[in-house]
Amino acid sequence: MLLGVGFWIATAIKVFAIVFGLVNFGAIMLWVERRQSAMIQDRMGPNRASVTLFGHEFRVAGLLHSAADGIKMLWKEDFMPPNADKFLYRIAPIVSLVPPLTLMVVVPFGPTLFWANRGSVFGDADGSIYHTHREGFARVWDAAATSIPLHISFADSGILMIFALGSAGVLGAALAGSSSDNKFSLMGGLRAASQMLSYEVTMGLTLIGTFMVYQSVRLEEMVTWQMSHVWGIFVQPFAFLLFLTAAIAETKRVPFDAPEGESEIVAGYFTEYQPMKMGMFALGELVEVFTSSAVIVTVFLGGWQFPFVQQTGFHFDYAGITLHWYWSHLAVVLVGAVTFFVKMILFALLQMQIRWTLPRFRYDQIMRLGWRVLLPASLVNIFVTGIVLLFLNSSAH
């Protein structure tokens, strides 16, 4: 093994935490979808599923409805259309669910946890913990002995892996549409494939502006840049709007949910899918809401950084007010992780709110928006960013 045991254990824990967290968030998003939608629509939403413990009924505000849905899905009859393509029909939900889970490998959900000098993790950080420290039992090449970065993959491709895996999600929808023996599914699959591909282009091009500003494609370096300068949304506001629109279109949420139809083409590309496979599609979609929020938060909103918090604590030095509040390293890491999740959740809630604000776009409007409005706009964004950077760099010399 090139890397030590500690590294693999840390990675396994991180993978478990991310997958477990995401799938649970998917189930919680189902609850949020039902209750938040209800609150917006002046009704209550489901709040009756309860579990009786020790003679006392716990309703948990309807969270158990997600569990009830899951259990119901497991017990239902799993029927496959007779003429459906057996292999493709079965793998389509898997191809749709796995990419959103895997694309979180490159997203950092907190600052690096340094613990070479273990005593000072809890105490005041005087800078000594950031120096690597040869210890007696920890091997020098076991990276986890000195620091644990809170992202799973160290790949140099960074955000390009997100694009690659996002494109794999297109395949799931297309397979589902074409392998069910149903014309409505086929139309839904067609719409899904073409819509997702169109908005993938925009997503990539908008982020090129951010690559030019951050000088990197690795997400952890983007967060570091945002920590030392300003958040991405202030340097690339236009790209933020474009990327948000493209991300919502990519995940096929309303107002871009023409592939799902729901009133036009029955249920779109998952018409013919029975319980648990349908559950996998739905879970995949909800998990995608979270992962797209995570990417937006990391690239544009400073990732895991709470405003004005640096490696050593809370520092505010503007407008004449000076406040330096030194925190221990563990506190910084915990605040970072919690901030990341809170921001991710807020963006997921925002996407849920947009769902009930906007009516669905017509399919030709979606395609026109993707190719004739967002794509030129993202190209313009690249040009303008390049020109501004050129001016700034030339004036700096």
Least distance (Å) from other proteins to the CB of residue 23?
26
* DSSP alpha helix (H) spans, the chain: 5-40, 64-75, 86-102, 119-122, 159-179, 183-214, 219-228, 232-235, 237-250, 275-300, 329-355, 363-368, 375-396
**Region 17-56 residues binding other proteins, contact defined as CB under 8 A:** 36, 39-44
Residue 138 interacts with other proteins (CB under 8 A)?
no
Least distance (Å) from other proteins to the CB of residue 356?
6
Backbone angles phi, psi at 176, to 5 degrees: -65, -45
How far apart CA 52 and CA 48 sit, in angstroms, is 12
Cβ distance to other proteins smaller for residue 241 or 389: 241
How far apart CA 315 and CA 195 sit, in angstroms, is 45
Least distance (Å) from other proteins to the CB of residue 195?
18
Give 164's Cβ-side CA count (13 Å radius).
8
Candidate segments 1-9, 154-162, 181-189, 353-361, binder of other proteins by CB under 8 A: 353-361
**Region 232-291 residues binding other proteins, contact defined as CB under 8 A:** 241
How far apart CA 194 and CA 188 sit, in angstroms, is 10
Among 208, 354, 382, 389, binds other proteins (CB under 8 A): 354
Q: Count residues near other proteins (CB under 8 A).
A: 13
Identify residue 380 by its one-letter amino acid code: V
Among 274, 356, 367, 368, binds other proteins (CB under 8 A): 356
DSSP assignments along 96-121, one per residue: HHHHHHHGGGG---S--EE-SSTHHH
How far apart CA 233 and CA 212 sit, in angstroms, is 14
Candidate segments 194-202, 325-333, 348-356, 386-394, binder of other proteins by CB under 8 A: 348-356
Cβ distance to other proteins smaller for residue 39 or 230: 39
Residue 358 interacts with other proteins (CB under 8 A)?
yes
* Interacting residues with other proteins (CB under 8 A): 36, 39-44, 241, 353-354, 356-358
